Amino acid sequence: MREANVAFGSPSSAPTAGAPGSSAYSRTKTPAPPASSSVAALAVPWGSLFKTDCRLPARACGGILNYMFERFTERARLVVVLAQEEARALKHGHIGTEHILLGLLRQPEEIAAQALESFDITLDRARREVVRIIGTGEEPVVGEMPFTPRAKKALELALQESRRLGHNLIGTEHILLGVLSAADGPTAQIFREFEVTPEAIRAKTIELIGPTAPSAVRPASRPIASLPPVDEWFRVGPSANARRVLMLAAARALNEGRSEIEPRDILLALTRDDQMRPVLADLGADEATVLKAIERRRPPEAPPRASAEG
């Protein structure tokens, strides 16, 4: 790899919301990330994060895992999007913990970035270290980018850190704690360059998190202590009948020339499902009525713009 000048998004490209440290607990709706950082545009390979027995096409499996990631806050999901953006700008063919670190630093109002910056680990300085240690690639990277085993482990540990602290949501601070627990390779070199240990950053992060207000945490459906182990959590997959419904939904999307399954595809597929069709019929809903309802709620198309000649 070679070193080169690389254009990156600025920290301000990440949306701002709420008070510092509110990522894991805020009930305020976070503004959508900019188009250049959208999950769809960057095709974040959620499906490559953990092993599942999903036998659907990769995009469908990724959608199932996206649902499993409902415990991640919008800011935490944005970290992964920004990490991929950093990796792509450096022309790296993977997403590592070093890219996740940069993604964390691109949200300066969050606890994770504040903890890192308290040790003078800033976005620009960390990015220069990544380029110095790894360099940059020769060719632009297209398509999905896999997570390294260490990056997968860091995100898995983020869930464990959240549960250990008694939190129901996973914020940027938990991702940082996961990265610190899995720190090795380039990320460990970055910390050594700044003459700081993962233990010191962890202590600062825990200090910034502070005591959790019970009223600010989303009520859990069951006690945190009774949740299944991490390995079991990520082995959850669709039943045979659910796979059939998703296949029907995928077929409809393909017939319409789309490469992604939308919620309406699943709803229409349920009208053909042997178990759910009678339930929907009791509600007066069949495929025809669902299609009509979707059409009624379809946003109107924008009128064509007038030409310059008027």
> Which helix (H) or strand (E) element contains residue 268?
helix 263-270
Q: Residue 37: what residue type?
A: S
Q: How far apart are CA 260 and CA 21, in angstroms?
A: 34
Rounded Cα–Cα distance for residues 111 and 198 (Å): 15
pLDDT band at residue 100 using 50, 70 and 90 as cut-offs: very high
Of 38-42, 65-69, 239-243, the range with the lowest mean pLDDT is 38-42
CA 165, CA 173: separation in Å to the nearest integer? 11
**Each residue's pLDDT tens digit, 269-299:** 999 888 898 999 999 999 899 898 888 887 7
Highest mean pLDDT among 13-27, 93-107, 132-146: 93-107
The pLDDT confidence band at residue 218, using thresholds 50, 70 and 90, is very low
Of residues 302 and 81, more confidence is placed in 81
Mean pLDDT (whole number) for 233-261: 78
The string of pLDDT tens digits covering residues 47-99 is: 555 444 444 444 444 444 454 467 888 889 889 889 999 999 999 999 999 99
C-alpha of 146 from chain center = 14
Q: Are 237 and 52 in contact (CB under 8 A)?
A: yes
Nearest-angstrom CA–CA distance, 142 and 228: 37
- Residue 299 has a pLDDT of 74
- Residue 72 bridge partners (DSSP): 170
Q: What pLDDT is stored for residue 304 in this prediction? A: 57
**Residue position matching structure tokens 């009208």:** 271
Q: What is the dihedral angle through the alpha carbons of 180, 182, 187, 190, rounded to the nearest 10 degrees? A: 40
SS3 of residue 147 by DSSP: strand
The conformation of residue 94, written as its DSSP 8-state character, comes to S
Percent of the chain with pLDDT over 90: 33
DSSP state of 32: P
> What pLDDT is attached to residue 128?
95
